[in-house]
Structures are given as C-alpha cells and as structure tokens.
Chains A and B, each alone.
Chain A
Amino acid sequence: MGNVLARKLWNAGRLDPEDLQRLDEVISNPFPVDARKDLIQQGDDPEHVHLVLSGMVCRYKLMPDGRRAIVALMLPGDICDLHVAILGRMDHNLGTLTDCSVVRIPRATIEELLENHPRIRRALFWSTLVDEAILREWLVNMGRRRADKQMAHLFCEVHARLCAVNHMQDALLPLTQEELADILGVSTVHAQRVLSQLRAQGLVTVQDSRVAVPDVERLRDFAQFEVDYLHLEQGEGGRQHHTK
C-alpha cells in the first residue's frame, strides 16, 4: 500500500477500494517543508489540516520565557490537526523537526470525508482516539517513569509507530538532544546524559543526531514498553465496523 494515510487508517479496520481511491485523491498534492519550520501557529484560524507524508512534525507550546514543550510527535500518515476542522482556532503550534513532505487538506474535504465515507469517518475517529491514548502514555511517562526509562519508552513508541507505516528506514530516529529534552520535560544536559547512559548500556546507538535501536526487544524490556496503547492491529483493529 503506497498511500501512507491509507496504511495508517487501515489499522482501524478494512477500507473499501472506493475509500482507498478517495484517500489517494486526498494526498495527491504534497509539498516539501524544510526542517524546523512552523506549519501553523497558536492563534491561527486555518482553512486546512496538515497530513505528514514523510518526516517528523511536532505539536508544541512556547512558555513566556521562550522554553518549548513538545506535546506530540506526528509521523508519516498522521494528520496533525484534525480538530481544527471542528474547533477552529489553533491553541498550539505545529512545526517540522526534519525535512518533511506535507499535504494540506482543506476543511471542506474533511467535512466531505466525514459526511460521505463512513469507514474513513470511523478511521479518523479511531486515529484521534489513538492520539489520546498516546497522550495518556506521555503523561504517565513524564509523571511516573525515571528519565532513562522515559527516553527508552519514547524511542520504543516512535520505532513502533514508524514500523506500522513502513517508514522505519534503517531503524533511525531523527531527534536531537534539544528535542528530546523538550519532549521529556528535562534540561538539555540531562537529556544528553540520559542518552549517554542508554548508549553505554548498548540500548541505542547515536550517529549524527540520529538514534538507532539495535535490539528492539531489549529496549522494550528495559522501558517496560507495552505496545497495546498504539492499537496497531493491522486491518483487524479494535472492534470491527458494524455494517447494517
């Protein structure tokens, strides 16, 4: 399946050929965005939602003193701001972490998908529920896990999510120590220190600000990572759609 949005939504349950065709139309006009550029800022009242085709986008908030808190990562196949279609004004920022390929989907298209394509509607609802599940896990991560387990858990999650959409090029996660610090809510130096500890234990390797996971199972054991909250059942996801 070449369409990464369809690949992701497939996890929610089967899609029909007409759904897949509609999703191919939706992603037909991607454009490139450089790393570290804002896609949309707090206060904007956008007419589009953004879909990531490749690269990594983050949802973030800025503190009055300029510090940043990254509260979500969007990977290939993820729609960044679906809620904008309903809530309107943005209450946070979206920025690229790496060079990305992005699609702007007009609000009207989202409305049309919700209106006319019940399986896609269900899949989009599924994806927002999974986003919530991920956010819950991040809260647990920040509140209850030690920094080394917290970072390892994050790597396990990103790894699993990239694998689920066949985007795990050489098992590399492009995250700098500043970005890790902003995700985990720790200082940059602490993030650097914890990353060094994980390296020293052979749990990760780092090259050019890219983190590789040599042995996923070992890292999962260390992080006590349970993949269930990502709901990646691949076509049999959750409860099946009840057809009338």
Chain B
Amino acid sequence: MRFYFDVKNGTFSRDDTGTELVDRAAARAEALAVLAPIAGEALPDHQFSSVSVTVRDCDHRPIFHASLALVEDWIG
C-alpha cells in the first residue's frame, strides 16, 4: 500500500512520491518517526513552533494526522 506524507512546518510540503508500506499501522509509525527529526533540525532555527504531518492513503484520502509543538520560554 502506498501512503503519502504531507508535512507542514512553517511551509507546507506535499508528498507526491509516496512510500510503500505494509499497513496503516506502519504508516502511523512512519508519520511519528518523521516528526522528531524535523523538529530536532528545524524548530530551534525558525519562527514557527510546530510541525505536523498528514498521511494520505493510496486514494489520496487523509487518514491520519499528528503534530508536535515546541514551547519555549526564558525563565531567568
């Protein structure tokens, strides 16, 4: 099954290639796995403070959404 992973972190990037995965559970795992490195690499350097991913199935229907938010404050 092919799944598409659209990522939004300030800008929206639509996935037109997709990735072949065994099932929806694998697609969820991939979606979560993709958030962490994006957050680690991009969030501290940019204005925006959240990253989200929407998974579409082979018919391009959205089936899963997850987001990660960074909360930061100077406290002293």
Contact = CB atoms under 8 A, between A and B. Distances in A.
B34 A189 contact: yes
Interface size class of A (residues with CB under 8 A): 10 to 19
B13 A196 contact: yes
A193 B7 CA distance: 9
A197 to B, nearest CB: 8
Interface string B11-34: 001010111010000000011011
A147 B41 contact: yes
Contact of B15 (A146, A147, A196): A196
Contacts of A147: 37, 41
Contacts of B34: 187, 189-190, 193
Contacts, number: 35
Contacts of B30: 187-189
Interface string B47-71: 0000000000000000000000000
A188 B13 CA distance: 16
Contacts of A186: 37
Contact of A146 (B13, B18, B41): B41
Contact of B31 (A177, A189, A196): A189
Nearest to A188: B19
Interface residues of B, number: 15
A98 interface: no
Contacts of B38: 190, 193
A192 interface: yes
A189 B13 contact: no
B68 to A, nearest CB: 14
Quick one: which of B15, B19, B37 has the most chain A CB within 10 A?
Answer: B19
B33 A193 contact: no
Contact of A192 (B17, B31, B37, B41): B17
B17 A189 contact: no
B65 to A, nearest CB: 15
Contacts of A177: 19
Nearest to A191: B19
A193 B41 contact: no
Contacts of B41: 146-147
B17 A187 contact: no
A190 B7 CA distance: 10
Interface in A177-231: 177, 186-190, 192-193, 196
16 contacts: A147-B37, A177-B19, A186-B37, A187-B30, A187-B34, A188-B30, A189-B5, A189-B33, A189-B34, A190-B37, A190-B38, A192-B17, A192-B19, A193-B13, A193-B34, A196-B13
Given A147-B37, A189-B33, A193-B5, 15 more contacts: A146-B41, A147-B41, A187-B30, A187-B34, A188-B19, A188-B21, A189-B5, A189-B30, A189-B31, A189-B34, A192-B17, A192-B18, A193-B15, A193-B38, A196-B15
Q: Which 5 residue pairs across A and B have the least CB separation, nearest first?
A: A187-B33, A189-B30, A189-B34, A190-B34, A189-B5
